Structure 1
Amino acid sequence: MTGTPLARFTPFPEPPAPILEYLAERSADESVADGPAPWDLGALTAELAAPMPAWLDAVCRWLNETYAWQPQDVIPPCWQEHHHLAYEIAAFAFARADAYNDAASTVTWHEQYDRFLLRMNKMLGKAGDECRVGRHEERSSRFQLAAWPEGPVTP
């Protein structure tokens, strides 16, 4: 037998260089960086947001290839169209880096993965089955959301 049995294990995708630099700057003892957390996608500058979709897509592919043994565990390819998923995936991806600093945290990360799947499936609902096979449907709550008046409600 040639090679090692673990050679087929794909490493977790590395965050983009601008994000790693930003994280290092934020965590420096004498940091002057007071920007948003990199997993807060809506608050990122254009420069920091630009590399995120490609990296998060690589993270989704890695999670699907590594952990998705059942159809309901597959993150749909249209994950970017589901804003709740994009935020969750970003937070989960960054949590993995922290979790792999020690074994106990790694176990917790895997427990968080189970909770992520529960939330993902609850939020996707029946539409998730269609999305997973490449037939994305617009937000199923769009009709209910349309009932909200424009702007804030005044007393």
Structure 2
Amino acid sequence: MTTSLLPWPPLPTAIRDHLEPGDNGPHPWDLSSLTDPLATAVWTWLDEVAYWLNDTYAWQEHQVIPACWPHHPDIAHDLAALAFTRIDVYAAATPAYIPRWRTDLEDFHRRLTTTLGPNAPCLRDKHNDLPHRYTTDTANLAISTRSTAQGPTTAPDCKNRSATPD
């Protein structure tokens, strides 16, 4: 019996070069620190990784990484960590760490479900930032406005709070 398994996406040279010992550049899994051309290589490769994970492990809807994953920062950061961890696990001299990576994958799927919510429009190719993004943007605007008006101080609700509850 033969089966056709999709191979793990090859690591581009631009990324591999940043994994060499002694490289002082940004770590490719730290998406917030990347600049071009490394950023382009990492994001393109992560798209291939998302495709591979969907093809290999997405047997239930809650396991599908939506096409709009780059628009969800938490999914993007988790996907990068999962992808680079898999490289380390499969490069090891023993398969002992593979079950741990599978646990990390299950944790990733749980966080994916938490991020997207039930009946996620993103899984139907209808990306939607609401309500999470609206709520976050509203909260951050209030925090930013308060910080600008008051300057760096303790949180307004905590200024006169005693150490013990009333």
Q: Confirm or deny that 1:118 pairs with 2:110.
A: yes
Q: Deviations over 1:70-106 (max 9, x none)?
A: 1111011110111111111111100001111221111
Q: How do 1:17-56 residues align onto structure 2 when only pairs under 5 Å count?
A: 17-24=13-20, 27=21, 31=22, 33-56=23-46
Aligned with residue 140 of structure 1, among 113, 122, 131: 131
Q: How do 1:1-155 residues align onto structure 2 when only pairs under 5 Å count?
A: 5-6=2-3, 8-24=4-20, 27=21, 31=22, 33-100=23-90, 101=92, 102-126=94-118, 129-145=120-136, 146-148=138-140, 149=142, 150=144, 153=147, 154=151, 155=153
Q: Gapped runs of 5+ residues in structure 2?
A: 154-166
SS of the residue aligned with 1:5?
coil
Name the TM-score, length of structure 2 as normaliser: 0.79
The structural deviation recorded for 1:152 is 6.6
Aligned-residue Cα RMSD (Å) equals: 1.7
Name the TM-score, length of structure 1 as normaliser: 0.85
SS of the residue aligned with 1:138?
coil
The structural deviation recorded for 1:139 is 4.3
Equivalent pairs, count: 144
Q: Percent identity?
A: 35
- Letter of the 2:100 counterpart: T
The structural deviation recorded for 1:151 is 5.7
Q: Gapped runs of 5+ residues in structure 1?
A: none
Contact 2:31 2:39 in 1 (8 A): yes
Q: Give the whole-Å Cα distance in 1 for the aligned partners of 2:114 and 2:123.
A: 14
Q: Give the whole-Å Cα distance in 2 for the aligned partners of 1:151 and 1:104.
A: 51
Q: Give the whole-Å Cα distance in 1 for the aligned partners of 2:56 and 2:133.
A: 33
